[in-house]
Amino acid sequence: MALRLAVLGDIHGNLAALEAALADAKRHKPDRFVITGDLTFNGPRPGETIDRVRALEKSGALVIAGNTDLAVADGDYAAAFPWLDEVPATHTAAAEWAREQLSDEQLDYLRGLPYERRLWAGGNLVLACHGSPGSITAGLPTDLDPTVTVERVTRTDARVIACGHTHVADVRELGRKLIVNPGSCGYAFDGDAAACWALLTVPDGDDAEPSAELFRPAYDAGAAAEEVAARGLPGDVYRAATIRTGRLVR
């Protein structure tokens, strides 16, 4: 029997988008959920998002941390954004605001999340990570140098890599590896403001090929954008525009 996994991540505190993705995914009756990190940063409902994810975990979901979860939980901005020479005040303001919205218990939950999870389906190993195998900050964008891509994906023996971080939905085969990036559920950069998730099907058999399908359920992105803009944090105008349009605005 095939294992059906609903993969989603990069929720970024956008509870409305998360609920839309979950409702759509449940219609397909997945066996388990996989949540690939970045739960709270930037969006308007960090605490409620964590509570929703924790409820999924109690029902068997695999949940991992993303790089911005480090920023929110512990204020370790260099670890969260190592590609930036100087972390902008807009980033620190959003992380500090989210931290203030979370209880000590919710912060401890973020701190305790693993960076990777693995599961076997028949003869196929599935790795859930945020950026790429072994890294929460080095992603697998489609325009990455092919040599670098190969170096990153060969850090694992997994047949399937379920990841996030790029905020761009992507399913592709690379040799014998299937890369599944559902895109950002609540803060997309690929031009589609809808929520998103991926259905990963892993057959029970060494010779059967895993596959994945992308889904983009609609939700009221305008209302979520207005909720962000109403906070008045530095950069919220741009965050709201990003949520509304599905494109990075800065």
pLDDT of 77 over the 90 cut = yes
Asked if residue 218 belongs to a domain, the reply is yes
- Total number of domains constituting the chain: 1
Asked if residue 27 belongs to a domain, the reply is yes
Asked if residue 94 belongs to a domain, the reply is yes
Asked if residue 174 belongs to a domain, the reply is no
Asked if residue 70 belongs to a domain, the reply is yes
Mean of the pLDDT values across residues 143-152?
97
- The pLDDT of residue 207 is 64
Asked if residue 36 belongs to a domain, the reply is yes
- The pLDDT of residue 122 is 81
Asked if residue 92 belongs to a domain, the reply is yes
pLDDT of 1 over the 80 cut = no
For 111-146, write each residue's pLDDT tens digit: 999 999 999 988 899 999 999 999 999 999 999 999
- The pLDDT of residue 41 is 98
Residues spanned by the domain of 67: 3-112+186-245
| DSSP letters spanning the chain | --EEEEEE---TT-HHHHHHHHHHHHTT--SEEEE-S--STTSS-HHHHHHHHHHHHHTT-EE---HHHHHHHH--HHHH-TT-SS--HHHHHHHHHHHHHS-HHHHHHHHH--SEEEEEETTEEEEEESSBTTBSS----TTS-HHHHHHHHTT---SEEE--SS-S-EEEEETTEEEEE---SSS--SS--S--EEEEEE-SSTTSPPEEEEE-----HHHHHHHHHTT--TTHHHHHHHHHHSS---
pLDDT confidence tier of residue 205, bands split at 50, 70 and 90: low
What CATH number does the domain containing 8 carry? Answer: 3.60.21.10
- The pLDDT of residue 206 is 60
Q: What is the pTM of this model?
A: 0.96
Asked if residue 84 belongs to a domain, the reply is yes
